[in-house]
Amino acid sequence: MVKKALALLAIIPILLLPSGCWDRREIEDLLLVGAIIFGKSNVSDTEQYRVSFITTKPSSSGGEQVGMSEEGGAAQAAMQWVASSYGPTLEEAMLKFSIRSPRYIYLAHNRIIILEETVAKEGISEVVDFLVRAEDTRLRNYVLVIKEDISDLLKSIPEFEDILAGELFSILETSIGEGDYHHPSDLNIIAQGILTKGQDPWAPVVETFSADQAAGRDAGRSVIIKGTALFRADKLVGYLDAEETQQFLLLKGLANTGIYYIDSNGEKISYRYEYARTRRKLAVKDGQLNVDYDITLKGLLQEVHFFSNLSKAEIDSLERALSVRASTALLETINRCKELGSDALGIGRLIHARKPEIWKEYSKNWYSIYPEIDINVNVKVQITGTALGSKPIVPKASE
């Protein structure tokens, strides 16, 4: 009897436990941040951090209907809430949101981090350190750099997703296999780039553009992701454009698919590689260190606008021409990286990994040695097929 009574008594505190705790937070009390934008700006003559959030409005996250629009479709309540805050330190700028937002700031579902040029040029290590240290942000947050003023970005309207952060995330995730215009870079890669000697960070660039200008409407702007921002240690030094980015990804071994075109008989031929393999080698010749890139591309001739039976000899000469075209483009990009003084390609890290004894010498003043390193590119383009089942449609006169 006593035992039973004791057991019952023991159940009471256990029952009290599930009924509540110190840290109860209902989901509708959370401000679900989707993207954080870091910048710097002058506020009352002192330079301060500007932190902007793109968030999902909690009350509307269920997507409730607020009325019927003229076309009869259900218009949805504004899904997105955008706000900026200023502070001398990041923590203070972050905390200031609490005086405006009636919800708890919740970063665990954040997916995008955007760095403004102002902060990127001065150095991103403080921002990265803050984010790595913050207990709820994830290292899988994609990092983007924005060149222009962010006011356009904050005004831009997502075209497919509920909020802009979701739109950027989807672009990054889906278009990666469609063409080498960009490759996502996340907080882990950026932080490693800041910390590791001989490996600099890089991140894709986000731009806004007005899609409706031609139509004369004052509609919002849309976002695109294109090009790559290169850093030196933690400072932004320059950008690669879309074409250079394709070469950059090939050199990094991150390429999926891309297009090269050449002129043949005054007509453009485009070649789309669907397979790319990048091998890097180090060779020491007469005390001179050479880095050799061996890149193999396999793909199809996608567009041919003239009639030809494409004989073996012709394919061979096309392959040669394409190889030359590709290696020139690749070398140009390598030189561009060298000019900017950013080792985002990780040449130093390659030397460290393969030839540690040489790296011991080089690491002391790597940034002055890096532009002098001989980098050779050896491209092997293979045309596996013509992708043409029939004769191309060519106007009568040209035949």
Partner 1 sequence: MQKYRISGGQLIGMMFWTIMGTAIISLPVLIGHHAPRDAWAAAVLFTIGGIGLSLIVGALANRFPRRDFVVYSQQVLGTWMGKLLILAFLVWLFHTMGFVLWQIANFISLSLLPKTPIVAIMAILLLPSVYVVFDGIESLSRCSQVIFLPTIIIIYLLYLMLIPDVNLENLLPIFGDGAANIFRASITPLAWAGEIMFVVFLAPFLNKAGNTIKYPVITMVLIGFGGVINELFYTAVFGLLRQHSSNPFYSLIRYIRPTAFVERYDILFVTINLLGNFVKLSVFLYIFVLGLSQLMGMKSHRPLTLPSAAALLLSTNYLVNSPNELVAFLDTVFPLYTIPLLYGLPALVLLVAAIRRIK
- Residue 233 has phi, psi (to 5 degrees) of 55, -110
Place of tokens 């629009």: 69
Strand 288-304 relative to strand 374-385: parallel, antiparallel, unpaired?
parallel
First to last CA, the chain: 106
349 interacts with partner 1 by CB under 8 A: yes
Work out which of 98, 140, 374, 392 binds partner 1, going by CB under 8 A. Answer: 140
Closer to partner 1 by CB, 128 or 295: give it. Answer: 128
Binding test (CB under 8 A) with partner 1, winner from 16, 22, 44, 45: 22
**Residue 6 interacting with partner 1 (CB under 8 A):** no
Does 15 contact partner 1 by CB under 8 A? no
29 in contact with partner 1 (CB under 8 A): no
CB of 17 to partner 1, least distance (A): 7
The footprint of partner 1 on this chain (CB under 8 A) covers a number of residues equal to: 20
**Alpha carbon distance 141, 144 (integer Å):** 10
132 belongs to the binding site for partner 1 (CB under 8 A): yes
Q: Which of 5, 21, 393, 397 binds partner 1 (CB under 8 A)?
A: 21
Q: Can you say whether residue 198 is alpha, beta or left, with left for phi > 0 and alpha for psi between -120 and 50 degrees? A: left
Q: Which of 153, 171, 191, 301 binds partner 1 (CB under 8 A)?
A: 191
Nearest to 204 by CA among 187, 221, 225, 223: 225
Choosing from 61, 76, 101, 196, the residue that interacts with partner 1 (CB under 8 A) is 196
Give the helix ranges, DSSP H, for the chain: 2-16, 90-95, 117-122, 125-133, 150-155, 164-174, 187-195, 242-252, 312-340, 347-354, 356-362, 366-369
Q: Considering the complex, what minimum distance in angstroms separates the CB of residue 170 from partner 1?
A: 12
Tell me: does residue 23 bind partner 1 (CB under 8 A): yes
Q: How far is CA 177 from CA 142, 248, 254, 269, in A?
A: 17, 16, 10, 22
Single residue of 217, 268, 277, 354 touching partner 1 by CB under 8 A: 354
Give yes or no for a contact between 48 and 41, defined as CB atoms under 8 angstroms apart.
Answer: yes
Q: Note whether 2 binds partner 1 by CB under 8 A.
A: no
Find the part of the chain contacting partner 1 (CB under 8 A) among 134-142, 151-159, 319-327, 335-343. 134-142
In the complex, the residues that contact partner 1 under the rule CB under 8 A are 17, 21-23, 132, 135, 138-140, 188, 191-192, 195-196, 349-350, 352-354, 356
